[in-house]
């Protein structure tokens, strides 16, 4: 398929303007003018429509296909939230309005949404306050790690390390490092959860905190979580909850009650806002009492008369972490989703997410190796070790699924499982869809035993079959004109 | 999986050979096979002091990023800069052309915490 630049025909335009009947303005001073015009494609409106329609048809998305990508919670994004987020009274607001004198009176509805969203998230997670500013999960992690650093600085604690398990999302150690900490990695037990003896050895007075998901990355609930919280708090470390797996416990247990001090939520996972193309996401961060003074500004507060305004008067705040109030339109969608489902609905979300994952696990057990053979939460992890002895690796099984119209599961993560295949069906899929997926996986295992060579050709149905991943990393070039 | 007889090994799948107080460090066949096609390596700085089992380098493949730990304490005296442009040497020739760094070691006593070839072979079998 040609790029839009390759469809350019010199002089072609998608608009026609009438002759100017007013005098020309004085030209800009030369110092303000580019030496040459930017290179833009010259195309007609129909060219543009066909180009992007063709691209959208090639998109592999939740709207078109089952998407059991583990750790990503690719649930269906209901359309009513799109309608609400597009309402002119929300979509057309200028973000500076509440910062102008008396301007907040013009945006009371929007401020109320931000305020109430914070209250709802506190209720759901058991925390005392939230910032809605961070623009993604990893951005939330960094915000949390910076608040942990601010807490220890204020207490004059000398802290150097953040602990993370070896099954952690790669963003955990990365966020800790950017916030100025060194990471200590704790190995997992054969059960797939943190090794408590190794944690005990690593916990010194220099430990600032620990970053964990619960359920853990292997989709398993950590039964020692309260013990871990006690151990970490004993050295005045803080407990960070990575909300990536919140879908598993929604409405059933609250990280704040488990002893965590700070967490982020991926609204684009748990609260069903679009993931598309890497964003825009949202990673609100919740804190318990210890970290409240350090929350980013601005914060929305309620006046005695019930109206809302922005407050910047938090001298210990870590400051802004994003412009304005975060991805407002994403927050609106998640707010609407929470209100529609309500308390009972949110419980059903996690119930069905966990049930679906356990159904997949039970039916594929015996077909693929199951490294952690225990009731799972919202996702299950298999290994393609048995198939790989025959030359068929997790990546090959993933490519097979593409030809079946199914997005591959996550492969090679978590790192602690060789040939890992991590499957998260989510609560929004029907039994028929999940059964079809299971059948495809059984067929794949069968084919791997009979004809491993066949896998090298998959996928056959895509515009590009197997991109050169090594070249893509080594010689990355996204500029068509280079 | 190829395991070379006269080398020492770590549980994290590094190998080390010692010659006249200088340790040459690399990753094992098992490590490169598990990681898949390696696309990038971050080498240590020459003169950097490393402690045994602390981070020496990091390696990225199409699957994941992994740290490489130093099997012994000492000072980095040379790095294999060939790997910057040809990280695939780690896949193609992990025990020879794909060596990562040379470390001037203080003493050979720390080798007691490493595995010999036979022990490493047994360890690999236990991972199956």
Looking at residue A469, its pLDDT comes to 82
Secondary structure (H, E, C), B62-78: CCCEEEEECCCCEEEEE
- Contacts of A333 by beta carbon, 8 Å cutoff, 6+ apart: A77, A81, A82, A84, A85, A267, A271, A272, A273, A274
Chains A, B: CB pairs < 8 Å: 25
Looking at residue A474, its pLDDT comes to 78
pLDDT confidence tier of residue A277, bands split at 50, 70 and 90: low
**Rounded CA separation A314/A334 (Å):** 27
Closest-CA distance of chain A to residue B23, Å: 25
Looking at residue B127, its pLDDT comes to 82
Looking at residue A278, its pLDDT comes to 54
* Model confidence at B107: pLDDT above 60: yes
Chain B residue with CA closest to A395: the answer is: B63
- Contacts of A314 by beta carbon, 8 Å cutoff, 6+ apart: A293, A295, A297, A299
- Tell whether ipTM is more than 0.85: no
Cβ proximity of A307 and A98 under 8 Å? no
Mean pLDDT over A301-305 rounds to 97
Looking at residue B63, its pLDDT comes to 81
To the question of domain A83-339 being in CATH 3.40.640.10, the answer is yes
- What whole-number percentage of chain B has pLDDT above 90? 83
pLDDT confidence tier of residue A470, bands split at 50, 70 and 90: confident
The domain ranges of chain A are 83-339, 347-472
**Rounded CA separation A245/A238 (Å):** 19
**Rounded CA separation A246/A127 (Å):** 14
Q: Which of A71, A395, A411, A415 to mutate to test the interface with B (most CBs of B within 10 A)?
A: A415
- Contacts of A205 by beta carbon, 8 Å cutoff, 6+ apart: A158, A235, A236
Closest Cβ opposite residue A170 in set B36, B40, B65: B65
Model confidence pLDDT, tens digit, residues A60-102:
889 999 999 999 999 999 999 999 999 999 999 999 999 999 9
Q: Write down the residue that tokens 């987020």 correspond to.
A: A85
**Rounded CA separation B11/B53 (Å):** 10
Provide the pairing of β-strand A380-383 with A420-423: antiparallel
Q: Which of A306-320, A358-372, A405-419 has the lowest mean pLDDT?
A: A405-419
Closest-CA distance of chain B to residue A471, Å: 8
**Rounded CA separation A425/A407 (Å):** 11
Per-residue tokens: A18: 């009438």
Looking at residue A276, its pLDDT comes to 64
* Chain A residues inside the 8 Å CB shell of B64: 170, 412-413, 415
Q: The CATH number of A347-472 is which of 3.40.630.10, 3.30.460.10, 3.90.1150.10, 3.40.1280.10?
A: 3.90.1150.10
The domain ranges of chain B are 8-121
Mean pLDDT over A218-222 rounds to 88
Chain A residue with CA closest to B35: the answer is: A412
* DSSP state for residue A253 in the 8-state scheme: -
- Contacts of B20 by beta carbon, 8 Å cutoff, 6+ apart: none
Q: Which CATH class for the B8-121 domain?
A: mainly beta
Per-residue tokens: B15: 């190998």
Mean pLDDT over A175-186 rounds to 95
- Asked if A29 is an interface residue toward chain B (Cβ–Cβ < 8 A), one would say no
- DSSP per-residue string spanning A296-313: PSPEEEE-TTS-EEEE--
**Helix A108-125 crosses helix A328-364 at what angle (to 10 degrees)?**
30
Cβ proximity of A377 and A219 under 8 Å? yes
Looking at residue A168, its pLDDT comes to 87
**Rounded CA separation A355/A361 (Å):** 10
Mean pLDDT over A381-389 rounds to 95
**Counting beta carbons within 10 angstroms of the beta carbon of residue A481, is it exposed (0 to 12), middle (13 to 18) or buried (19 or more)?**
exposed
* Model confidence at A275: pLDDT above 90: no
Model confidence pLDDT, tens digit, residues A108-125:
999 999 999 999 999 999
For chain A, the average pLDDT equals 94
Question: Given this chain, do its domains A83-339 and A347-472 carry the same CATH topology?
Answer: no
pLDDT confidence tier of residue A279, bands split at 50, 70 and 90: low
**Rounded CA separation A110/A463 (Å):** 43
- Is A413 close to B37, i.e. CB distance below 8 A? no
Reported pTM: 0.88
pLDDT confidence tier of residue A392, bands split at 50, 70 and 90: very high
Cβ proximity of A320 and A296 under 8 Å? yes
Cβ proximity of B70 and B94 under 8 Å? no
- DSSP per-residue string spanning A346-408: HHHHHHHHHHHHHHHHHHHBTTBB-SS-S--SS-EEEE-HHHHTTT--HHHHHHHHHHTTBPP
- Is B37 close to A470, i.e. CB distance below 8 A? yes
Closest Cβ opposite residue B64 in set A415, A469, A474: A415
**Rounded CA separation A66/A407 (Å):** 6
* Chain B residues inside the 8 Å CB shell of A473: 39-40, 60, 62
């Amino acid at each position: 398929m040609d790029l839009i630049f390759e469809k350019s025909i010199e002089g072609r335009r998608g608009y026609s303007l009438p002759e100017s009947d007013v005098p020309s303005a004085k030209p800009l001073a030369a110092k303000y003018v580019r030496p040459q015009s930017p290179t833009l494609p010259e195309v007609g409106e129909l060219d543009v429509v066909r180009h992007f329609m063709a691209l959208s048809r090639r998109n592999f998305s939740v709207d078109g296909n089952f998407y059991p990508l583990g750790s990503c919670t690719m649930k269906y994004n209901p359309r009513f939230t799109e309608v609400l987020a597009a309402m002119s009274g929300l979509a057309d607001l200028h973000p500076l309005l509440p910062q102008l004198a008396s301007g907040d009176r013009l945006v009371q509805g929007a401020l109320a949404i931000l305020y109430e969203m914070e209250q709802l998230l506190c209720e759901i997670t058991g925390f005392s306050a939230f910032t809605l500013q961070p623009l993604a999960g990893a951005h939330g992690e960094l915000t949390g790690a910076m608040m942990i650093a601010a807490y220890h600085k204020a207490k004059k604690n000398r802290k150097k390390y953040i602990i993370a398990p070896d099954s952690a999302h790669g963003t955990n150690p990365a966020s800790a490092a950017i916030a100025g900490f060194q990471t200590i990695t704790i190995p997992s037990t054969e059960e797939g959860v943190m090794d408590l003896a190794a944690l005990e050895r690593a916990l010194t007075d220099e430990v600032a905190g620990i970053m964990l998901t619960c359920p853990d990355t292997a989709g398993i609930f950590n039964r020692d979580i309260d013990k871990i919280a006690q151990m970490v708090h004993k050295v005045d470390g803080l407990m960070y909850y990575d909300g990536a797996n919140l879908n598993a416990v929604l409405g059933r247990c609250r990280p704040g009650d488990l002893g965590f001090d700070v967490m982020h939520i991926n609204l684009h996972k748990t609260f069903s806002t679009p993931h598309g193309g890497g964003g825009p996401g949202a990673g609100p961060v919740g804190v318990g009492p210890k970290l409240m003074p350090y929350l980013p500004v601005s914060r929305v507060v309620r006046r005695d008369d019930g109206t809302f305004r922005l407050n910047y008067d938090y001298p210990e705040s870590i400051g802004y972490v994003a412009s304005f109030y975060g991805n407002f339109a994403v927050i609106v969608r998640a707010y609407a989703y929470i209100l529609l489902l309500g308390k009972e609905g949110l419980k059903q979300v996690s119930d069905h997410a966990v049930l679906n994952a356990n159904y997949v696990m039970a039916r594929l057990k015996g077909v693929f190796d199951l490294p952690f053979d225990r009731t799972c939460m919202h996702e299950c992890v298999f290994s393609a070790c048995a198939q790989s002895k025959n030359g068929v690796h997790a990546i090959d099984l993933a490519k097979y699924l593409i030809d079946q119209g199914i997005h591959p599961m996550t492969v090679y993560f978590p790192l602690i499982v060789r040939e890992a295949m991590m499957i998260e069906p989510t609560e929004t899929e029907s039994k028929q869809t999940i059964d079809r997926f299971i059948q495809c996986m059984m067929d794949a295992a069968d084919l791997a035993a009979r004809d491993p060579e066949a896998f090298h050709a998959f996928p056959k149905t895509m515009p590009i079959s197997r991109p050169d991943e090594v070249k893509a990393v080594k010689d990355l070039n996204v500029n068509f004109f280079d | 999986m190829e395991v070379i007889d006269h080398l020492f090994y770590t549980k994290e799948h590094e190998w080390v050979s010692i010659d006249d107080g200088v340790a040459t460090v690399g990753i094992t066949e098992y490590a490169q096979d598990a990681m898949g096609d390696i696309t990038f390596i971050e080498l240590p700085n020459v003169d950097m002091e490393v402690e045994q089992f602390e981070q020496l380098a990091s390696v990225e493949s199409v699957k994941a990023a992994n740290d490489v730990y130093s099997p012994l304490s000492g000072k980095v005296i040379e790095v294999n800069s060939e790997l910057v442009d040809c990280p695939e040497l780690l896949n193609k020739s992990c025990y020879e052309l794909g060596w990562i760094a040379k470390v001037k070691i203080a003493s050979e006593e720390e080798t007691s915490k490493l595995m010999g070839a036979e022990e490493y072979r047994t360890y690999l079998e236990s991972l199956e």
